[in-house]
Amino acid sequence: MTHRPDRRPGGAARGARALARDFRLHVAQTSTAPLGIVVTKAQGTWLTDATGRRYLDLLAGMGVVNLGHGNRAVTRACLAQLRRHLHVMVYGEYVLPSQVDLATRLVELAGPPFESCYFTSSGTEAVEGALKTARKHTGRRGLVGFALGFHGDTFGALSVGGNPVYRDPFLPLLPGTTILPWQDARALRAIDRRTAAVVIEPVQAEGGVRVADPAYLRLLRARCDEVGALLVFDEVVTGMGRTGALFAFQECGIRPDLLVLAKALGGGLPLGAFLASRRILATLAKRPALAHVTTFGGHPLSCAAALAALNQTIARDLPGRAAASGRAFLRGLQDLAARHPVIRAVRGAGLLLAVELATPTATRRFAAACLARGLLVNWTLHRDTVIRLAPPLVITRAEIALALATMEAALDDLRRPGH
Ligand SMILES: Cc1ncc(COP(=O)(O)O)c(C=O)c1O
């Protein structure tokens, strides 16, 4: 992989060292080992750091940058909105064209039962809104999530998250919450007439890229219908084309009652949304009115970027491209796994792929070796043996070939004594 160091004397490199130090000192850290790349430029599938080094980006900001970095249509839409106006009022009071146009287009593309969108600023906030809507609409308290599910880190979203490691430090969480085993049809009996909502990711992303079986999702839909519980699909990661359809539910043969979106929705700007029928979402506007409000949710700049990104996604058939590129990438990973027994499994849907390694140590060393060779990969939050790949959906076949060759070289590095 090309590595072009910045040859300017001192300058950028010295600046980068100071930045890295102040990052550690003054930007609160979420781990003791951040990737720590000093980003100076991002274009297409590539990031550039302060030394001029380029990285092939298989993370896309954790599944956000579907269109690639620096998409021109998104930039143009942002500039046009900047000239019109930024924040003018809290969510829901004024008629903001970029927000209305985005909501209209989203419900049109999602189809029935989706008629209306509530906009937020992030994924976890959209999950909170969906949970509150479900409780208020049904008049029930029960919430159900799944083992290793991840829905965000605010208290409600964490309550339906399925990993004790991240739940326990924050107990007590919401009462009335049940975590079911993943894909266990018999356990669905725990969903009953006290259940307001069941929240599931059609592909568990942080849980190790575990793809739900459509037959299981149909059973889940049937159980929710039987007891009158609302089914919430968290498509924060899978939505907007990543798994080969605009929304993953469109390939499962069922329709959820609420659909949660974020990450790629905003085209690189912060935006989340939950969609449902008008009847369900109306619950937030009455008894009492203003039952759930937000200042910045559906920010006009984010909505303008989102609409441009959505239009590009459809016009360029990025879901179709994700499906085809994902198949090619997966075939390459299967070949790699056949040659390297340290890889225990490869799997995925579209361009949300997983490489499962034998041990957490091998996984960390593999990620580090890839990074040293200029390939950005990382392991998932809940499964430290799984490398998740979620590149921009515009990644080319040549870039996929380069990524596979770099992974192979990184695996060879691991075999070398002392590496
Ligand atoms: C499936 C899923 N839901 C919700 C969230 C929370 O989104 P955000 O980080 O925008 O709050 C995430 C974040 O990674 C996620 O993976």
DSSP letter string, 90-132: STTTS--HHHHHHHHHHHHHH-TT--EEEEESSHHHHHHHHHH
Ligand 1 lined by 237 (C-beta under 6 Å): yes
Q: What average pLDDT does the chain have?
A: 95
Higher pLDDT, 4 or 42: 42
210-221 mean pLDDT: 98
Q: What fold does the segment set 72-315 form as a domain?
A: Aspartate Aminotransferase; domain 2 (3.40.640)
Query: What does the pLDDT look like over 133-171, one tens digit per residue?
Result: 999 999 999 999 999 999 999 999 999 999 999 999 999
Does ligand 1 lie within 6 Å of residue 245's CB atom? no
CATH number of 11-64+317-415: 3.90.1150.10
| Mean pLDDT score, 190-214 | 97
Does the Cβ of 146 fall within 6 Å of ligand 1?
no
CB atoms within 10 A of CB 275: 28
CA torsion 370-241-273-44 (nearest 10°) is 50
The closest alpha carbon to 192, from 137, 144, 120, belongs to 144
Among 349, 292, 303, 296, CA closest to 326: 349
Q: Is the pLDDT of residue 11 over 50?
A: no
Nearest atom within ligand 1 for CA of residue 157: 4
* pLDDT mean over 80-94: 97
Rounded CA separation 30/45 (Å) = 25
**pLDDT band at residue 416 using 50, 70 and 90 as cut-offs:** confident
Ligand 1 in contact with 355 (CB < 6 A)?
no
Q: Which of 12-21, 86-95, 177-186, 278-287 has the lowest mean pLDDT?
A: 12-21
For 309-320, the pLDDT digits (tens) are: 999 999 999 999
162 Cα–ligand 1 center, Å: 13
Give me ligand 1 centre to Cα 368, in Å: 24
**pLDDT on residue 266:** 98
What is the reported pLDDT for 382?
Answer: 87
Partners of residue 260 on adjacent β-strands: 234, 274
- Residue 2 — pLDDT band, cuts 50, 70, 90? very low
Spot the catalytic one: 234, 247, 249, 257: 234
| Atom in ligand 1 nearest the alpha carbon of residue 235 | 1
The radius of gyration of the chain's CA atoms, rounded to the nearest angstrom, is 22
Residue pair 47/55 in contact by the 8 Å Cβ criterion = yes
Neighbours of 8 (CB within 10 A): 11
Q: How many CA atoms lie within 13 A of 362 on its CB side?
A: 17
Q: Residue type for 293, please?
A: V
Taking Cα atoms as reference points, which of 326, 385, 331 lies closest to residue 353? 326
Return the DSSP state at 53: -
Confidence of residue 415 (pLDDT cuts 50, 70, 90): confident
Helix and strand totals (H; E) in the chain: 13, 17
Is the distance from the beta carbon of residue 122 to the nearest atom of ligand 1 less than 6 Å? yes
Domain ranges for the chain: 11-64+317-415, 72-315
208 in Cβ contact with 356 (< 8 Å): yes
User: What share of the chain has pLDDT > 70, as a percent?
Assistant: 96
234 is catalytic: yes
Closest Cα partner for 283 from 93, 116, 108, 109?
A: 116
Task: Report residue 13's pLDDT band, with 50, 70 and 90 as the boundaries.
Answer: low
Q: How many CB atoms lie within 10 A of CB 112?
A: 8
Pocket residue to mutate for ligand 1, from 59, 64, 124, most atoms within 8 A of Cβ: 124
Summarize the confidence of residues 226-245 as an average pLDDT. 98
Q: 151 CA distance to ligand 1 centroid (A)?
A: 5
Question: Ligand 1 centroid to 288 CA: how many Å?
Answer: 29
Write out pLDDT tens, residues 330-350.
Answer: 999 999 999 999 999 999 999
Q: Please choose from 236, 381, 386 the residue to mutate so as to test ligand 1's pocket, defined by most ligand atoms within 8 A of CB.
A: 236
**Which residue among 263, 269, 388 has the greatest number of ligand 1 atoms within 8 angstroms of its CB, and so is best to mutate?**
263
Residue nearest to atom 10 of ligand 1 (CA): 123
* CB neighbours of residue 119 within 10 Å: 29
Residue 213 a catalytic site member: no
pLDDT at 379: 86
pLDDT at 9: 43
Cα 6 to ligand 1 centroid, rounded to whole Å: 35
Q: Which helix (H) or strand (E) element contains residue 391?
A: none
Over 60: is that where the pLDDT of 418 sits? Answer: yes
Measured by CA distance, the residue closest to atom 14 of ligand 1 is 152
Q: What angle do CA 346, 349, 350 make, to 5 degrees?
A: 115
Q: What is the pLDDT of residues 65-81, one digit of tens each?
A: 999 999 999 999 999 99
What residue type is assigned to position 22 of the chain? D
Site to probe by mutation for ligand 1, drawn from 151, 204, 271 as the one with most ligand atoms within 8 Å of Cβ, is: 151
Partner residues linked to 261 by β-bridges: 273
Q: How many other CB atoms are found less than 10 A from the CB of residue 175?
A: 9
Grade residue 419 by pLDDT with cuts at 50, 70 and 90: low
